[in-house]
Amino acid sequence: MADFTDWFKNIPYFTKRWLSLTVMFTLAARFGILNPIKFVLIYEPFVKKFEIWRAVTGLFMYPLSPGNGLHFLINCYFLYSYSLRLETDLYSGRPADYFFLLLFNWICCVVIALLADIMILMDPMVLSILYVWCQLNKDAIVSFWFGTRFKAMYLPWVLFGFNLIISGGGLQELVGIIVGHTYFFLMYKYPQEMGGPQLIQTPQIFYKFFPNERTVHGFGQAPTRATPAAAAAPNQPQGGNEGINYRRHNWGRGYVLGQQQ
């Protein structure tokens, strides 16, 4: 129990709450404490009856059945692994920016889910986070089942193809890829590689609730475009400077899923 407590305390802020709420809502539904039909995202009660909480609880609620328990556990692993890597690497010391990533992807998932009649948001949301990490670490080598190894940039598509072939699904994975690519393109690729304007950015009010901290971190770099300001302050976090606390962390390098140490 002491080891579990230490592990849980060391999970970063947003990853801890996302994972905890997912497990709590799912187990509550599994043991009959909550009725899943009241919490998943369904178009008619959400739009016509203004049951707006469904957009939030639809992310955390995953009704378990005899055939999807393993899939839920794999999703929890991907959620923990890749959300943690993003939050403690690229977005280390920048909680407002990571919160904006989660919020942007969640809103996109809700809109597409309403149009595509998807009631559970866990799959597309987890895939969207995984996709962003894979694009920011596209040349890292990851391992999949049966010892197959390939670059991280292909992992979301492998998961999509695997689910399409094995279970005849794939729609939710495809939605996650679309959402993740939308964020990555608008936040990084279009303004930094294609020279376009910054179409989305973290609202300044977020920095008041989640102030930045100056940190030092390792692998997983976003593509950057050199500017005079960046050259003068290469470690300056994105967004405003309100309430910044300057300190250093030694997070270590970490390892990619399945990467040889």
Amino acid at site 84: L
pLDDT recorded at residue 222: 54
What pTM did the predictor assign?
Answer: 0.79
- The CATH superfamily holding the domain 11-213 is Rhomboid-like (1.20.1540.10)
Please report, in angstroms and rounded to a whole number, the separation of the first and last CA atoms in the chain. Answer: 28
Residue 60: band (very low, low, confident or very high) from pLDDT cuts 50, 70, 90: very high
**Residue 253 near residue 219 (C-beta atoms within 8 A):** yes
Phi, psi angle pair for 194, to nearest 5°: -105, -5
As given in the structure block, the two tokens for residue 39 are 């919490």
- More confident site: 168 or 213: 213
Q: Measure the CA–CA gap between 63 and 120, rounded to whole angstroms.
A: 9
Nearest Cα to Cα of residue 215 among 68, 60, 87, 120: 87
Q: List pLDDT tens digits, range 146-181.
A: 778 889 899 999 889 888 887 767 899 999 999 999
| Separation of alpha carbons 110 and 55, rounded Å | 6
The structural domains of the chain, with segments of one domain joined by +, span: 11-213
